[in-house]
């Protein structure tokens, strides 16, 4: 297992993270213990959870695992959790206010059975709470020894920049991680969210790296999902996931390519998709939400897989995000941000002259 520092912090974590959203529900406690044992034995360190996962049960399962394992094992774990979403019926039992975050943090510490959380993440934005209030609370928690590092999740590019700039201006703790959805079928964050995170020294911890299972190779185009898969279940959440990701022929072309590259390399489709993501700029560690011990065993194989230039280029090309309307992200919008240093023509003029589909230059042309 290789390790990477989390953004610009000094915290080293494994290049693959373990997600625990199913612990205590789809994944029984005994299997969850096996998954964490397998992950740590393979050199994995970063375990990610959230207070809202199974209404707090996932954190409780992790807490019991910590209590049941010797210190020399649990000391290797970098523990991450999140807060923001409702944990009760009270009007203040949600959001990023000082009141809610203080109660949420104390409750997570109790469920996890630890004194300090290594990475405490804001699970989403809160338009009603001033960022200054949220950042001040997080900084207080760091100074009190309850948190080591802070992170963001599901923030837009401008929100990331504002959080970082506000923290710097107020001399408060700056977020060192961002947890966004990111995979071969969902790359639109590369337009603004990834640049904002990288500019501010935040390491990326992508969730849904396998696109809800679509990149595992178990689904076929124009066929009914098997009953033992998520999409084949009667759970509307997973049915929505398949409909959301596999929208068109382009998505299925990516899925087919992942399968073919897996066959050529002797890897599994999951390992190919994860290896591609681990090699993306700014990515610290994809978060793999393993439901069974077999899943984590398969995912761990990706940590040892490096794709050659040709399959990487093929996947990059097939999965490149596409702007349906060309402004501000398509060819015309891209022209507004392009400048040449080795020739006189201006990018916008080139687009107008050659057509909207003309290839555009960059500073590397």
Instruction: Supply the residues annotated as catalytic.
Output: 53
b/e burial code for range 316-339 (CB count within 10 A of at least 16 → b): eebbeeeeeeeeebbbbbbbeebe
Diameter of the chain measured on Cα atoms: 69
Q: Note if the bond before 328 is cis, omega within 30 degrees.
A: yes
For residues 321 and 297, the answer to whether their CB atoms sit within 8 Å is: no
Task: Tokens for 68, please give them.
Answer: 């049941």
For residues 305 and 275, the answer to whether their CB atoms sit within 8 Å is: yes
Q: Which residues contact 28 (CB under 8 A, 6 or more apart)?
A: none
Token match 């280029």: residue? Answer: 313
Decide: residue 65, CB within 10 A, 0-12 exposed, 13-18 middle, 19+ buried.
Answer: buried
Q: How far apart are CA 321 and CA 264, in angstroms?
A: 25
Alpha helices in the chain (DSSP H): 29-41, 57-68, 71-74, 98-112, 131-143, 157-169, 193-199, 236-245, 249-265, 269-278, 293-300, 309-319, 331-335, 347-354
Token match 């500019």: residue? Answer: 199
For residues 17 and 286, the answer to whether their CB atoms sit within 8 Å is: yes
CA 163 to chain centre: 18
Degrees (nearest 5) of the Cα angle 144, 149, 152?
A: 120
């Amino acid at each position: 297992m290789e390790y990477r520092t989390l953004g610009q912090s000094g915290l080293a974590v494994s290049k693959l993270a373990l997600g625990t959203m199913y612990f205590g529900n789809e994944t029984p406690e005994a299997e969850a213990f096996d998954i964490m044992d397998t992950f740590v034995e393979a050199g994995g360190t970063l375990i990610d959870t959230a207070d809202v996962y199974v209404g707090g049960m996932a954190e409780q399962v992790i807490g019991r695992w910590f209590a049941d394992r010797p210190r020399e094992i649990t000391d290797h774990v970098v523990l991450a959790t999140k807060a923001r979403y409702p944990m009760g019926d009270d009007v203040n039992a949600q959001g990023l206010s000082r009141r809610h975050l203080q109660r949420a943090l104390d409750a997570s510490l109790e469920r996890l059975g630890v004194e300090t959380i290594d990475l405490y993440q804001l699970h989403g934005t809160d338009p009603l709470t001033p960022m200054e209030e949220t950042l001040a609370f997080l900084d207080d928690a760091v100074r009190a020894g309850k948190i080591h590092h802070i992170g963001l999740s599901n923030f837009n590019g401008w929100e990331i920049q504002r959080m970082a700039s506000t923290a710097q201006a107020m001399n408060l703790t700056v977020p060192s991680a961002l947890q966004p959805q990111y995979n071969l079928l969902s790359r639109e964050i590369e337009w603004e969210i990834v640049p904002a995170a990288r500019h501010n020294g935040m390491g990326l911890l992508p969730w849904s790296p396998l696109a809800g299972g679509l990149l595992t190779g178990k689904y076929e185009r124009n066929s009914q999902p098997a009953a033992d898969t998520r999409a084949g279940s009667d759970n509307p959440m997973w049915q929505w996931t398949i409909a959301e990701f596999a929208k068109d022929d382009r998505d299925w072309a990516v899925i087919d390519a992942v399968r073919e590259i897996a066959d050529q390399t002797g890897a599994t489709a999951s390992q190919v998709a994860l290896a591609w993501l681990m090699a993306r700029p700014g990515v610290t560690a994809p978060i793999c939400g393993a439901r069974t011990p077999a899943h984590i065993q398969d995912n761990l194989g990706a940590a040892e897989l490096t794709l050659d230039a040709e399959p990487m280029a093929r996947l990059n090309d097939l999965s490149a995000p596409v702007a349906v309307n060309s402004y501000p992200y398509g060819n015309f919008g891209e022209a507004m941000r392009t400048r040449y240093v080795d020739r006189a023509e201006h990018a916008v003029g080139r687009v107008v002259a050659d057509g909207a589909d003309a290839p555009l230059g960059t500073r590397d042309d």
